[in-house]
Amino acid sequence: MSEWFLSAEERGNPHTGLAPWTDGNSVRPLIDGREYYDALLPAVRATRRGDLILFTDWRGDPDQRLDGDGTEVSRVLCEAAERGVIVKGLMWRSHFDRLQFNEEENQHLGDEIEAAGGECLRDMRVRAGGSHHQKFVVLRHPGRPELDVAFVGGIDLCHSRGDSHEHEGDPQAISMAPVYGPRPPWHDAQVELRGPAVGQVEATFRERWTDPAPLSRNPFFRLHDRLYHEDTHADPLPEQLPDPPPAGDLSVQLLRTYPHLRSGAYPFAPDGERSVARGYRKAVARARHLIYIEDQYLWSPQVAECFAAALRATPGLHLVAVVPRQPDAPGKIGKIPQLYGRERALAMLDEAGGDRVHVFSPENADGTPIYVHAKVCIVDDAWATVGSDNVSLRSWTHDSELTCAVADPTGRYARSLRRRLAREHLGADIDDDDHATFVGAFERAAADLERWYAEGRPGPRPRGRVQRYEAPHLTWWTRQWSGVLYRFVHDPDGRPHGMRRAGAF
């Protein structure tokens, strides 16, 4: 797999104990939150005394239901802790709710788990303005390794994520830009891992858990924690079990981002880690026929350059991207800098690939835009990732991220994933795996929907859900002010200065 995966040296972080990659895994894509929650709930409920549940999250809402009443996240995890399961969590310690972040939700989830006998720490060991963006759950079962499983991807245990393939929205919704309505449709992806890769996800959790640095360097947070007797010290974990035995025939590499910290550097990544960026750049450079992307952002010329270089180098290469039609944030300050970032990235791709670049945004049966939160990249049906990382400088350098890259020379896994995603967006199976047929199916579906709208919606709605995405044209002045916010707030650079100057990752 060395032609697709990073070697230990190419990862660029000799301080981690992660294996370069593992063989013998099964990987099951879980598309949209409802499918993920339906897999996660029985797995958690099957744990018993002495088993181990480890999880990280960007945001966690304690009352988010994994199914119906009685399946709230906090209740399910607390019940596990009460029956003797070792439950440990790391939540991003975000900013206060008045800034529209997740401080209160994350604190409440942690409080409830700790009251039940588990332990959940709020982790602010990040770069200024950054976040812990990893979203994964690991379940280990001493004496029953065949049950060991890990879930890795972009789906948080929080409101709005529990949407189904029909995309009517999660009844427990968050407030977003008005275009998405009161119950925003939400498209996302996670993978279920079984086999030796589960141990590697666990090792990623343990590296963060055993970091001796204080959970926060903010003096106000530290004073708050002392006054309210908040748990700020990670209790020891039991010794890590051997990796689970083989469960399939897929090779998996975990790719990560950790920023370069000026102080309090991570002992497992003292110079940061940018294997997400390096893994993408190595795989994308090998693309010959088709790159398929689903992404929340698709920003940043520094990141888009690797895709543009591949398009310039290979005249027959096509790129298909599925992105949200509008940013999630309401108001000019939240919305316009995001549009600025995408405008610049798409301009670079269009210049490199012209009519070989195909960008679409989906909507549901009622015509409401679907917010694309998935982070998926598939290259020539040989390499595929699902994770927490977006195509952005922030995800490639600044925040903590984890993505699961799969290399499969047969193409079965990546092809199945690509066709499964296309079926959701197009409302039909694509039987021919030829890349031109795949691209043509998206273009026809978008044209049919555009024609149906233009003609006044006559007859039944076309079965496809995608429209062509058109990047907005921003004025010179709008680019000036939004560009500043984009660079310093929305898409900051977490690389050391020398690496920035060299344009390296």
pLDDT one-digit tens code per residue, 168-207: 999 999 999 999 999 999 999 999 999 999 999 999 999 9
Considering the domain architecture, whether residues 437 and 465 belong to the same structural domain is answered as yes
pLDDT at 381 over 50: yes
In a domain, 129, yes or no: yes
Are 385 and 497 members of one domain?
A: yes
**Number of domains forming the structure of the chain:** 2
User: Is residue 236 one of the residues assigned to a domain?
Assistant: no
pLDDT at 347 over 90: yes
Please say if the pLDDT value at position 38 is more than 80: yes
Find the mean pLDDT for residues 429-449: 90
pLDDT exceeds cutoff 70 at 153: yes
d(CA 203, CA 399): 19
Q: How much is the pLDDT for 97?
A: 42
Residue labelled with tokens 């020539």: 380
Q: Supply the range of the domain harboring residue 317.
A: 252-502
Which sign, positive or negative, has the C-alpha torsion 503, 311, 323, 32?
negative
Q: Does the residue 3 lie in any domain?
A: no
Same domain? 269 vs 364: yes
Residue-level pLDDT at 98: 38
Q: Is the pLDDT of residue 106 over 70?
A: no
Domain assignment of residue 475, yes or no: yes
Question: Under a CB-based contact definition with an 8 Å cutoff, are residues 399 and 133 in contact?
Answer: yes
Q: At what angle do helices 301-313 and 332-353 cross, to 10 degrees?
A: 20
8-state DSSP, 374: -
Q: Are residues 202 and 95 in the same domain?
A: yes
* 24 is a domain residue: yes
Give the pLDDT score at 263: 82
**pLDDT score recorded for residue 222:** 65
Average pLDDT across the chain, whole number: 93
**Is the domain of 124 the same as that of 146?**
yes
- From the list 417, 425, 348, 433, the residue with the least C-alpha distance to 378 is 417
Query: Which band of pLDDT confidence, cut at 50, 70 and 90, is reported for residue 472?
Result: confident
324 falls within a domain: yes
Same domain, 123 and 208: yes
Q: What is the structure's pLDDT at 48?
A: 98
pLDDT above 90: residue 410? no
Q: Is 192 in the same domain as 278?
A: no
Residue 469 included in any domain: yes
* 310 & 245 share domain: no
CATH number of the domain bearing residue 159: 3.30.870.10
Mean pLDDT of 375-383: 97
Instruction: Specify the range with the lowest mean pLDDT, choosing from 85-99, 106-120, 305-319.
Output: 85-99
Say yes or no: 324 and 434 in one domain.
yes
Residue 1, domain member (yes or no): no
Over range 153-174, report the average pLDDT. 97
Residues 458 and 486 in one domain: yes
Confidence of residue 100 (pLDDT cuts 50, 70, 90): very low
End-of-domain residue from the set 249, 277, 293 = 249
Percent of the chain clearing pLDDT 90 (strictly above): 85
Predicted TM-score (pTM) of this structure: 0.95
Distance CA 22, CA 250 (A): 8
**Same domain (yes/no): 419, 347:** yes
pLDDT for 223 equals 64
* Together in a domain, 166 and 308: no
pLDDT in tens, 278-299: 999 999 999 999 999 999 999 9
Q: At what angle do helices 476-485 and 332-353 cross, to 10 degrees?
A: 110
